[in-house]
C-alpha cells in the first residue's frame, strides 16, 4: 500500500533542495473524482499530490512536451524533471531514452507500483454507480472504494479496472530513481492479450465487419496521437497538416509535402492513419492505454497496438521498454531471427 505522504515528501524535499525544476504528478481534478496531471514547481504545492485509482494519465507525455518547449526556446535542461510513473509509464520513458529523446539524467523517475490492481475504467464504472457521480476513489486492497452522493460504494477492482491493467504483465516500474509500493509482478488478473485472443477467435468476415464499423466512426480528431508519448514526431508522416516549417525548409519541400492520406475522415483514410500508427508503434508501445481512453468515439485502438506487441513478443521475444540499452525492435537484426513468416 502506497502512503501518498511519501510521494509528497519526496517531491517537497527535491523541490526545496532545487534538485529538480518541477515535479509532474497527479492532483485532485477540478470536478468529480478524476485526478488530473499536476505540475509542481514549489515545495508548498507538494501537498496537492494524490495517488488513487483514477491516476491513469501517462505523464511521460509531459516530458516530451517539456523537451519540445525547451527546443522551441533553444534552451538546454538545467535541472531534471521528476515524474510520477506507473509500470507502463516508466516503460514509455525507457523507450524515449532508447530513442535518445532526452537523457537519463534529465529525468528523475518517482516510480509507483500499481501493486497488481491498476487504474479504473470510467466506462466500466458508470453503470455500477446507479447514475450517481463519484467524487472520490481510493485503493482498498483488492477493491476500489468510491464516494458518491449515496455514500461509499466498494467494488472489486477487477470489475472496474481498465482492460490493459487486467492484462498487465509487469505492473511495476523497473526503471526508477525511487519507488513506492510493492512489486506484485506475476499477479495477472487476466491472461496477457486476453481481449486480443478473444477478438482473433472470430472469423475474417466478422473481424472485417467489426473494424469497418470502427474505421467508419473515427473522426480523426487525433486525440490518440496527441495523448501518446511515442507520437512525438514534429511531422506525422501520414498527415500533412503537421508539416513543420523551419528556416531550413525549402520552397520545394513545402510544395512537395507528401499526402499519404486525404483530410476527409473516410474509411480508407482512417484505416491508413490507424494502421500506420500501429506500425509505427510496433516495439515502442508499452500499452499504457491512453489512446483508447482518449478516443471520443471509443475506437478499440489498443487491439491494434496489442497485435503488434504480441507479434514482437512471440516472434522475437521482444518487450518494449525492457531496458535502456536494449535493441530496438524494427531496427535490429539477428541471424537467429525467425524467417518462417517470409514467403
Partner 1 sequence: MTKKRTGVFVCHCGTNIAATVDVAKVAHEMAGEDTVAFTQEYVYMCSEPGQESVVQAIKDNKLDSVVVTCCSPNLHEKTFRDNAQRAGINNFTCEIANIREQCSWVHKDKNKGTEKAIKISRSVVRRVNRNKPMEAIAVPVTRRAMVIGGGIAGIQAALDIANAGVEVILVEKQATIGGRMLQLSETFPTLDCSQCVLSPKMVEVKRHPKVKLMTYSEVQEVTGSVGNFQVKVHKKPTFVDPDKCKICDDCTVVCPVVVPNEYELNLTSRRAIYIPYAQSIPASYTLDEEACLGLNPIVCGKCKDVCEADAINYDMLPETVTEDVGAIVVATGFDLYDQENMPELGGGKIEDVLDGLQFERLCSASGATQGHILRPSDHKEPKNVVFIQCVGSRDPAKHCAYCSKICCMYTAKHAQLYKHHVPDGRAYVFYIDIRSGGKGYEEFVQRTMEDNDTLYLRGRVSRLYRHNGKVRVLGTDTLSGQNVEIDADMVVLALAMVPSKGTTEIAQVLKIGRDKDGFLAEAHPKLKPVESVTAGIYLAGAAQAPKDIPETVAQAGAAAAKVIALLSQATLSRSPLIAKVRPSHCTGCGMCVDACPFIAIRLENGKAVVNEALCEGCGSCSATCLRAAIDVKNVTQLQIHEMIEACLAV
End-to-end CA separation in angstroms for the chain: 51
Helix 267-280 × helix 204-217 angle, to 10°: 100
Distance CA 319, CA 284 (A): 9
Residue 202 gets which letter from DSSP?
S
Which residue, 142 or 234, has its beta carbon nearer to partner 1? Answer: 234
Helix (H, G, I), strand (E, B) or coil at 155: strand
Binding partner 1 (rule: CB under 8 A), the pick from 335, 337, 341, 343 is: 335
> How far apart are the C-alpha atoms of 137 and 298, rounded to whole Å?
23
Determine which helix (DSSP H) or strand (DSSP E) holds 278, and give its type and residue range. helix 267-280
Which residue, 59 or 64, has its beta carbon nearer to partner 1?
64
Question: Among the candidate windows 133-141, 173-181, 231-239, 302-310, which touches partner 1 by CB under 8 A?
Answer: 231-239
Is residue 336 near partner 1 by the rule CB under 8 A? Answer: no
- Is residue 29 part of the contact set for partner 1 (CB under 8 A)? no
Q: Is 256 in the site for partner 1 (CB under 8 A)?
A: yes
Number of residues that bind partner 1 (CB under 8 A): 25
Q: Of the candidates 219, 234, 297, 324, which one interacts with partner 1 according to CB under 8 A?
A: 234
Q: Which of 244, 317, 325, 339 touches partner 1 (CB under 8 A)?
A: 244
Grid cell at residue 110 = 518517482
What are residue 267's phi and psi, to 5 degrees?
-55, -50
Segment 90-149, which members bind partner 1 (CB under 8 A)?
A: 98-101
For position 327 contacting partner 1 by CB under 8 A, the verdict is yes
CA angle 71, 76, 78 (to 5 degrees): 140
Q: Which of 17, 246, 325, 341 binds partner 1 (CB under 8 A)?
A: 246
Residue 134 host element (H or E): strand 134-140
Q: How far is the CB of 246 from partner 1 (least distance, A)?
A: 5
Instruction: Give 226 or 249: the residue with its C-beta nearer to partner 1.
Output: 249
Residue 252 or 337: which CB sits closer to partner 1?
Answer: 252
Residue 77's CB is within 10 A of a number of other CB atoms, namely 15
Q: Cα(254)–Cα(269) distance, rounded to whole angstroms?
A: 22
Give the number of other CB atoms < 10 A from CB of residue 207.
14
Question: Cβ of residue 244: shortest distance to partner 1, in angstroms?
Answer: 7
Dihedral angle at the C-alpha atoms of 191, 196, 199, 200, nearest 10 degrees?
Answer: -100
Does 235 help bind partner 1 (rule: CB under 8 A)? yes
Q: How far is the CB of 231 from partner 1 (least distance, A)?
A: 10
76 near partner 1, rule: CB under 8 A: no
Is 41 a binder of partner 1 (CB under 8 A)?
no
Instruction: Summarize as ranges the residues that interact with partner 1 (CB under 8 A).
Output: 98-101, 232-235, 237, 244, 246, 248-249, 252, 256, 258, 260, 280, 327-328, 330-333, 335
Amino acid at each position: 500500500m502506497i502512503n501518498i505522504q511519501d510521494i509528497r515528501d519526496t517531491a517537497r524535499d527535491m523541490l526545496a533542495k532545487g534538485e529538480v525544476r518541477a515535479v509532474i504528478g497527479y492532483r485532485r481534478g477540478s470536478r468529480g473524482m478524476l485526478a488530473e496531471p499536476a505540475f509542481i514547481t514549489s515545495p508548498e504545492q507538494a501537498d496537492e499530490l494524490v495517488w488513487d485509482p483514477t491516476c491513469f494519465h501517462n505523464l511521460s507525455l509531459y516530458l516530451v512536451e517539456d523537451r519540445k518547449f525547451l527546443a522551441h526556446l533553444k534552451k538546454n535542461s538545467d535541472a531534471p524533471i521528476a515524474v510520477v510513473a506507473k509500470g507502463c509509464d516508466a516503460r514509455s520513458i525507457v523507450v524515449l531514452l532508447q530513442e535518445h529523446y532526452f537523457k537519463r539524467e534529465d529525468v528523475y523517475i518517482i516510480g509507483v507500483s500499481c501493486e497488481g490492481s491498476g487504474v479504473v475504467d470510467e466506462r466500466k464504472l458508470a453503470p455500477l454507480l446507479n447514475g450517481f457521480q463519484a467524487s472520490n476513489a481510493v485503493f482498498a486492497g483488492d477493491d476500489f472504494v468510491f464516494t458518491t452522493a449515496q455514500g461509499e460504494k466498494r467494488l472489486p477492482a477487477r470489475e472496474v479496472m481498465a482492460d490493459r491493467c487486467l492484462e498487465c504483465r509487469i505492473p511495476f516500474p523497473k526503471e526508477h530513481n525511487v519507488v513506492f509500493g510493492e512489486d506484485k509482478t506475476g499477479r495477472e488478473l487476466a491472461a496477457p492479450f486476453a481481449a486480443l485472443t478473444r477478438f482473433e477467435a472470430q472469423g475474417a468476415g466478422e473481424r472485417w465487419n467489426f473494424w469497418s464499423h470502427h474505421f467508419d466512426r473515427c473522426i480523426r480528431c487525433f486525440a490518440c496521437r496527441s495523448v501518446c508519448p511515442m507520437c512525438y514526431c514534429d511531422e506525422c508522416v501520414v498527415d500533412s497538416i503537421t508539416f513543420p516549417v523551419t528556416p531550413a525548409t525549402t520552397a520545394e519541400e513545402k510544395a512537395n509535402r507528401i499526402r499519404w492520406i486525404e483530410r476527409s475522415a473516410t474509411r480508407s483514410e482512417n484505416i491508413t492513419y490507424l494502421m500506420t500508427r500501429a506500425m509505427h508503434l510496433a516495439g515502442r508501445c508499452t500499452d499504457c492505454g491512453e489512446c483508447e481512453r482518449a478516443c471520443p468515439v471509443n475506437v478499440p485502438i489498443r487491439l491494434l497496438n496489442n497485435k503488434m506487441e504480441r507479434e514482437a513478443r512471440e516472434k522475437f521475444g521482444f518487450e518494449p521498454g525492457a531496458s535502456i540499452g536494449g535493441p530496438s525492435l524494427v531496427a535490429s537484426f539477428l541471424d537467429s531471427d525467425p524467417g518462417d513468416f517470409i514467403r
